[in-house]
Structure 1
Amino acid sequence: MFGTGMGAMVGLLVAALVVVPVSFGVAARADTKVRRLSMFRPSDPYLRGSVADVDERCDRWRQLATRAWLICGGASLVAVAVVGVLICVG
């Protein structure tokens, strides 16, 4: 009886612990891109495109960063809750 539920909980914990560092890495990278794009100057020869194009890319990276941070936080909460349940059950 405890084997099937315990296995599912451990599987959920492993999945959450894989999602946390991946989403953290994506969020950190997206935040870095937002920071770089927000410091864009129209005369910068390394970045091509109009200021509106850069603003649009900055907004997309900002949305990606926000989603990744939310996923990271949610997966962290799931991992903490699963560990709590496993401690109480086990």
Structure 2
Amino acid sequence: MFGTGVGLVVALLAVTLLVVPVSLGVATRADAKVRRLSTSRASAPNMRGSVADVHERCDQWRQLATRAWLLCGGASLVAVAVVGVLICVG
């Protein structure tokens, strides 16, 4: 009854359901870090390190947040599509 195709689809669903919360956590953490760096840079100009260093770190965290949000959204879409396929098959 269940072929290897359905087993692979279920495995894909399991992986995407693991990726979604992990990427969501990374995205929210990176967004919080960007927000913290932005406000500390504006409120305390005498921070450790140069302004360029703080700006570079802020950009790196922003890029990480963007990638994590895109991964979370993509994995969510894949999970929805896989559930749709499983509903149609089953």
TM-score exceeds 0.5: yes
Q: TM-score, normalised by structure 1?
A: 0.92
Q: What RMSD over aligned residues (CA atoms) do the two structures have, in Å? A: 1.1
2:46 corresponds to 1:43: yes
| Alignment check: 8 A CA contact 1:42 1:50 kept | no
Letter in 2 for 1:43: N
Q: Which moved more, 1:35-44 or 1:74-83?
A: 35-44
1:76 alignment partner in structure 2: 76
Q: Which runs of 4+ in 1 moved over 2 A?
A: none
Letter in 2 for 1:36: R
1:11-50 to structure 2, matched below 5 A, reads: 11-39=11-39, 40=41, 41-44=44-47, 48-50=48-50
Question: Residue deviations 1:22-60, cap 9 Å, x none?
Answer: 00000000000000000122234xxx2011110000000
Letter in 2 for 1:24: L
Structure 2, unaligned runs of 5 or more: none
Q: Which moved more, 1:14-23 or 1:1-10?
A: 1-10
Residues in 2 aligned to 1:13 and 1:3: alpha-carbon distance in whole angstroms = 16
Please state whether the residue corresponding to 1:6 is helix, strand or coil: helix
The total of aligned residue pairs comes to: 87
Residues in 1 aligned to 2:29 and 2:66: alpha-carbon distance in whole angstroms = 12
Q: TM-score, normalised by structure 2?
A: 0.92
Structure 1, unaligned runs of 5 or more: none
2:54 corresponds to 1:57: no
Alpha-carbon distance, 1:79 to partner = 0.1
State the percentage of identical aligned residues.
78
